[in-house]
Amino acid sequence: RAEDGISSPNNTDACIEGLAFDSRDVKENYLFFALPGTHTTGNKFIAQAVSCGASAVIFQDEITQEEQSQIKAA
């Protein structure tokens, strides 16, 4: 469930122990900020962040069907 661009991948109360703007820096229980960039959108890295242990994600752009499928698979 996502409200106003804030989503917890497991739909539970998230325990936040750190912050990351780069999905390669995400660790267990981190909050990942999926921000838009000049050439791409951070949404493309949400699945990677979730698979690295992100407990919540903040995103700005709409998430495409393909991105949703990748996130669910992570």
Least confidently predicted of 9-13, 15-19, 43-47: 9-13
Partner residues linked to 56 by β-bridges: 31
Our count of domains for the chain comes to 1
Q: Quickly state the pLDDT bin for 12 (edges 50, 70, 90).
A: low
Q: Which domain holds residue 66?
A: 2-73
Sign of CA dihedral 61, 62, 64, 68: positive
Cα–Cα separations (whole angstroms), residue 8 to 4, 23, 35: 12, 15, 16
Q: Between 23 and 1, where is the model more confident? A: 23
pLDDT in tens, 18-68: 999 999 999 999 999 999 989 998 999 999 999 999 998 998 878 888 888
In this structure, what CATH number is given to the domain that contains residue 40?
3.40.1390.10
The answer to whether 14 and 2 have CB atoms below 8 angstroms apart is: no
